[in-house]
Structure 1
Amino acid sequence: MKRYRSAFTLVELLVVIAIIGVLVGLLLPAVQAAREAARRMSCSNNFKQIGLGIHNYHSAYKGLPVHGTGTDRPAGQQIYAGDSNGTSINRRGSFLISVLPFIEQQALWEQISNPLNVKADGSSKNPPWQAMGPGVARLDYGPWATNIPTFRCPSDPGTGLPSLGRTNYAACTGDSSVMSREGTVFVHKVSSGATMPYTANNQQQAERSRMVHRGMFILNTKMKFRDTLDGLSNTVMCGEIATDLGDSDNRTSMPQNDSINDKAGHGRRECRKNPRYMDQFHDPERPQFWQSGANPSVLIGRGYRWHDAMHFFTQVHTILPPNSGICTGGRTSNDSMVTVSSRHQGGAHVLMGDGAVKFVTDSIEAGNSNTRMVSYHTSTPAPGSPSPYGLWGSLGTRANKEVIDEEF
Structure 2
Amino acid sequence: MKRQCFTLATQPQIEAWISVLPFFLHILKEFSMRPIRRRQAPTGFTLVELLVVIAIIGVLVGLLLPAVQAAREAARRMSCSNNFKQIGLAVHNYHSTYDSLPIHGSGTHPTSGKNVWADRNDSSNRRLSFLVGILPFMEQQALWEQISNPSVVRTDGDTSATRGVVGNPWPAMGPTPEEINYIPWFTNIPALRCPSDPGVGLPALGRTNYVANLGDCFLDGRNGPLPVRSGYAVPYQEDSAWALEARAKNRGFFKIHARSRFRDILDGLANTICAGEIATDLGDNDIRTIGYDIGGSSDQGKIVTNPSFCSDDATPLIDPTRPQFWVASSNLYDSIAGRGFRWAEYLPNFGGFYTILSPNSETCGISVTSSTLGSTSSRHQGGTHVLMGDGAVRFITDSIDAGNSHAQMIWSGNTPGAASPYGLWGALGTRASKEVISEEF
- Residue among 414, 420, 432 paired with 1:380: 414
1:370 aligns with 2:403: no
Q: What's the secondary structure of 1:238's corresponding residue?
A: strand
Give the root-mean-square deviation of aligned CA atoms.
2.1
State the AA in 1 paired with 2:437.
I
Q: Which residue of 1 aligns with 2:351?
A: 314
Cα distance in 1 for partners of 2:121, 2:237 equals 29
State the AA in 1 paired with 2:414.
T
Cα distance in 2 for partners of 1:267, 1:353 equals 33
Report deviation, 1:127.
Answer: 1.5
1:395 aligns with 2:428: yes
- Contact kept, 8 Å, 1:178 with 1:374, in 2: the verdict is no
1:354 aligns with 2:390: yes
Q: Which residue of 2 aligns with 1:270?
A: 302
Q: Which residue of 2 aligns with 1:107?
A: 142
Q: Which residue of 2 aligns with 1:342?
A: 378
- Normalized against structure 1, the TM-score is what? 0.90
Q: What's the secondary structure of 2:324's corresponding residue?
A: strand
Cα distance in 1 for partners of 2:219, 2:105 equals 16
Q: Which residue of 1 aligns with 2:205?
A: 164
The structure richer in strand per residue is 1
State the AA in 1 paired with 2:270.
S
Q: What's the secondary structure of 2:276's corresponding residue?
A: strand
Q: Which residue of 2 aligns with 1:185?
A: 226
Deviations 1:255-312 (A, max 9, x none): 46xxxx33x3465332112111112411111111101224541110100000010001
Report deviation, 1:117.
Answer: 1.9
Cα distance in 2 for partners of 1:74, 1:286 equals 49
Report deviation, 1:184.
Answer: 2.0
When Rg is computed on C-alpha atoms for both structures, the one with the higher figure is: 2
Q: 1:312 to 1:74 in 2, by over 3 A?
A: farther
Q: Which residue of 2 aligns with 1:406?
A: 439
Aligned pairs, how many? 389
Write out aligned runs for 1:108-257 (5 A). Answer: 108-122=143-157, 124-186=165-227, 202=240, 205-255=242-292
1:68 aligns with 2:105: yes
- Contact kept, 8 Å, 2:81 with 2:393, in 1: the verdict is yes
State the AA in 1 paired with 2:340.
G
Q: What's the secondary structure of 2:91's corresponding residue?
A: helix
- Structure 2, unmatched stretches of 5+, are 1-39, 160-164
Report deviation, 1:135.
Answer: 1.9
Cα distance in 2 for partners of 1:72, 1:66 equals 14
- Residue among 67, 76, 81 paired with 1:39: 76
State the AA in 1 paired with 2:184.
P
Cα distance in 1 for partners of 2:238, 2:112 equals 21
Q: Which residue of 2 aligns with 1:191?
A: none
Q: What's the secondary structure of 1:287's corresponding residue?
A: coil
Compare 278-287 and 59-68 and name the one that shifted more. 278-287
State the AA in 2 paired with 1:390.
G
The structure richer in helix per residue is 2
1:284 aligns with 2:320: yes
- Structure 1, unmatched stretches of 5+, are 189-193
Deviations 1:138-163 (A, max 9, x none): 11111111111100000001111111
Q: 1:187 to 1:162 in 2, by over 3 A?
A: closer
State the AA in 2 paired with 1:98.
G
- Normalized against structure 2, the TM-score is what? 0.84
